[in-house]
Amino acid sequence: MATLNDLRTKGGWIIAIIVAVSMVAFLLGDFFNSGASMATERKMRVGEINGENIGYTDFYNRVEELSDIYTMLWGASSFTSEQYDAIYDGVWQQYFMENIYTPGFKKMGLNVSEAEQVDMLNGTYISPVMTTMFTNPTTGVFDQAMMMTFLASVESTPQYATLWNYLKRQMTEERQMSNFVNLVAAGFNPNELDVNQAMTAANDSASGKAFSVDYLALADSLIMNTLSDNDVKEYYNNHKNLFKQTDARTVNYVVFDVLPTDADFEAAASTVAEMAAEFAASETPLQYATLNSQESVDANYYKEDALPAAYVSYAFGEDKGKMYGPILMGNTYTMARLAEIKNMPDSLNARHILLAAENESKADSIVTLLRKGADFAALATEFSIDEVANLEGGELGMFAPEQMVTEFSDACINARVGQVFTVKTSFGTHIVELLAKSASSPKAQFATIVYNVDPSEATQQEVYNKANAFLASAGNTVDGFNAALSAEGLTAQSAMLSAQNRSIVGLDNSKELVRWAFNGKQGDVSTIFDIDDKYIVASIPTVVEEGYAPIKEVSSVISRTLKNEAKAKYVAEQIEGLSIEAAAEKFGVTVSEVSDVQFNSYIVENVGGMEPKFIGAFSAAKAGAAPAVVDGVSSIIVYQVDSNSNAETMTYDDAKVYLESYGSYYLENRIDQAIFEESKIVDNRAKYF
Give the type of residue at 284. Answer: T
Residue 138 confidence (pLDDT): 67
Return the CATH architecture of domain 250-259+456-544: Roll (3.10)
Residue 43 confidence (pLDDT): 61
Helices (H), 475-631: 478-488, 511-519, 551-575, 580-586, 612-620
Strand runs (DSSP E) across 9-97, as ranges? 45-49, 52-55
User: Phi-psi region for residue 105, left (φ > 0), alpha (ψ -120 to 50) or beta?
Assistant: alpha
Over residues 27-33, mean pLDDT: 40
Nearest to 354 by CA among 430, 433, 432: 430
C-alpha–C-alpha distance, residues 223 and 237, integer Å: 22
Q: What percent of the chain has pLDDT over 70?
A: 93
Give the type of residue at 363. Answer: A
Q: For 100-144, what is each residue's pLDDT tens digit? A: 999 999 999 888 888 888 889 988 889 999 999 888 776 778 888
Helix, strand, or coil (residue 366): helix
Residue 28 confidence (pLDDT): 38
**Is the fold of 250-259+456-544 the same as that of 347-437?**
yes
In this predicted model, which residue has the larger pLDDT, 256 or 305? 256
> H-helix or E-strand containing 268?
helix 262-281
Number of CB atoms found within 10 A of residue 518's CB: 21
Return the minimum-mean-pLDDT range out of 187-191, 423-427, 589-593. Answer: 187-191
Return the CATH architecture of domain 347-437: Roll (3.10)
Helix, strand, or coil (residue 465): helix
Q: For 253-289, what is each residue's pLDDT tens digit? A: 999 999 999 999 999 999 999 999 999 999 999 999 9
pTM over 0.85: no
Residue 9 confidence (pLDDT): 32
Helix, strand, or coil (residue 221): helix
Q: For 642-660, what is each residue's pLDDT tens digit? A: 999 998 889 999 999 988 8
Does residue 323 contact residue 337 with C-beta atoms inside 8 Å?
A: yes
Tell me how far CA of residue 615 lies from CA of 485, 600, 623, 666, in angstroms. 47, 8, 15, 22
C-alpha–C-alpha distance, residues 311 and 317, integer Å: 9
Strand runs (DSSP E) across 234-331, as ranges? 244-245, 248-257, 323-329
Helix, strand, or coil (residue 165): helix
Domain-wise residue ranges, the chain: 4-43, 201-245+551-646, 250-259+456-544, 262-344, 347-437
Tell me how far CA of residue 515 lies from CA of 46, 488, 534, in angstroms. 12, 27, 18
Helix, strand, or coil (residue 225): helix
Instruction: Give the chain's mean pLDDT.
Output: 88
Over residues 605-615, mean pLDDT: 86
